[in-house]
Amino acid sequence: MIRALAISCASLVLLAGCRPADQDTGSLDPRGSATRAQLAPELVAALDSGSNAYRAGDMDAALAQYRAASELDPDHAAGWFGIYMVEHRRGNTEAATTALERAQSAAPGATIIHPTATDTVPDGG
């Protein structure tokens, strides 16, 4: 239950923008704060399918959908973050790190994927 809630929260933050404090500072790239309504329907469908598969424990399907999302829009962080969550859960450290770096590059102001020295990197729940 906690894992599913964490995944949902992370997905919502990445899709809808970042925490209000980030938005107040103006640190977000406008592209990173696009709402779901502004995203291509195919991208939203792939992200939603990936999240549903992840919650259901189907890592193969989740990875396929998150990869599809990252191919549809390589500059959107959510697909890369989804890949990170799957690879991290599978214990694929190198692949997880690469995907997280792509997500961080795509959303430089998103503090949820840019932990401070005292934070830990999200593990998808």
pLDDT(70) > 90: yes
Q: What is the DSSP letter of 107?
A: -
Mean pLDDT of 74-102: 94
Q: Are the C-beta atoms of 70 and 102 separated by less than 8 Å?
A: yes
List domains and CATH numbers for the chain. Answer: 2-113 (1.25.40.10)
- 60 vs 38 pLDDT, higher one: 60
Q: Which two tokens stand for residue 19?
A: 């925490």
Kindly give, in sequence order, each residue whose CB lies less than 8 Å from that of residue 14, ignoring residues fewer than 6 positions away: 77, 78, 81, 103, 107, 110, 112, 113
- What pTM, to 2 d.p., does this model score? 0.66
99-121: pLDDT as tens digits: 999 998 888 877 666 665 444 55
Q: Which two tokens stand for residue 8?
A: 């949902």
What pLDDT, on a 0 to 100 scale, did the predictor assign at position 25?
43
What pLDDT, on a 0 to 100 scale, did the predictor assign at position 56?
97
| Angle of the 59-72 helix axis to the 41-56 helix axis, nearest 10 | 160
Which of 10-24, 53-67, 110-124 has the lowest average pLDDT?
A: 10-24
What pLDDT, on a 0 to 100 scale, did the predictor assign at position 123?
56
pLDDT(4) > 50: no
Name the pLDDT band for 27 (thresholds 50, 70, 90).
very low
What pLDDT, on a 0 to 100 scale, did the predictor assign at position 116?
59
Give the separation between CA 85 and CA 87, rounded to whole angstroms.
6
Give the separation between CA 47 and CA 4, rounded to whole angstroms.
15
Give the separation between CA 57 and CA 53, rounded to whole angstroms.
6
Cβ-in-10-Å burial (0-12, 13-18, 19+) of 103 comes to buried
